[in-house]
Amino acid sequence: MMNASVSTAPVMNGAGTAKIGERATAWFDAAGLANISEAQFSEFVAARVEGQSYSWFTLDLNDGTGIVFNGCGTIVADYGYLDDVGRVEESLGTVTLEESGYTYTAN
């Protein structure tokens, strides 16, 4: 996971005339992500997401779904179907940081 490349893109205002932020995306294979450990997932989030200034950080699973950390907050992330700019448009569940690590709860 740590070898994943991260790309960034501007976040534009509603009229599309001014940049108001930046977003980040890292791509993963959904089946591959299912096989990583919670410790590997936590390591990636701590190193690549936590403390960043992106408007949101998307883990795009290349199947139309992804995990989105809004505002790069790492306590709660949304999982679901992504729109064209990498935001969850239909939530399928929540990824939450607990004392024991990240857990997933389906809607």
Per-residue pLDDT at 32: 80
Distance CA 21, CA 35 (A): 33
Residue 7 has pLDDT above 90, yes or no: yes
Per-residue pLDDT at 103: 93
Per-residue pLDDT at 84: 94
Residue 5 has pLDDT above 90, yes or no: no
Residue 44 has pLDDT above 90, yes or no: yes
Query: Which of 73, 58, 66 shows the shortest CA–CA distance to 25?
Result: 58
